[in-house]
Amino acid sequence: MEYDQIAFVFASPDHGREFENSGARWIFDQIQRMAPKPVVLIVYGAQKGVYPENRKKGIGNRIFRKKVIAQPNLAVFISGDLHMDMDRMEHSKKVKNVQYLHIPALERTKIPDETRHTPMFRVMTITNDGKVIVDTYKVGETSPRKEHGYSFTIQLKK
């Protein structure tokens, strides 16, 4: 989805949570084509190594890790495969120039364990001046959980 100031790339893995080289190249080409617009990449699997709680699980394709993530206009990487407990994990962070956002699973929690599950969802708002606000809601609640609030700014294309 491409807009005047920002673009979104949605990518499904080729197998499980992994991309073949052709899939990783397709993502790379899309991000490059949209430059200098900032890109929000939405993928099922997390990038290997970003979340230390399960650093071996995720996308390990070399083209993806070396080329896609290195694109200067990749602003946000959204994933959910790890099923992290939002109350017990660091779910939102900046690594180098990319903001990583975990989307919690509605049906179960796997990390750090399966002992407690709180179904939640997130809403991301991007304002005209590039401020990004991420609100996290517990299912059934009408107010976001302050402890999971996260915000940052991206440079929108003029």
pLDDT digits (tens, 9 = 90+) for 75-105: 999 998 888 888 888 899 999 999 999 998 8
Burial class (CB in 10 A: 0-12, 13-18, 19+), 142: exposed
The residues spanned by each domain of the chain are: 7-153
Per-residue pLDDT of 115-149, as tens digits, reads 888 899 999 999 999 999 999 999 999 999 999 99
Arithmetic mean of pLDDT over the chain:
92
CATH class (in words) of the domain with range 7-153: alpha beta
Q: By the 8 A CB rule, do 58 and 45 touch? A: yes
SS3 of 146, please? helix
Q: How far apart are CA 7 and CA 30, in angstroms?
A: 10
Q: How does DSSP classify residue 53?
A: G
Q: Please state which of the ranges 6-20, 41-55, 64-78, 140-154 shows the lowest mean pLDDT.
A: 41-55
- Report which of 15, 76, 68, 79 is spatially closest to residue 45, judged by C-alpha positions: 79
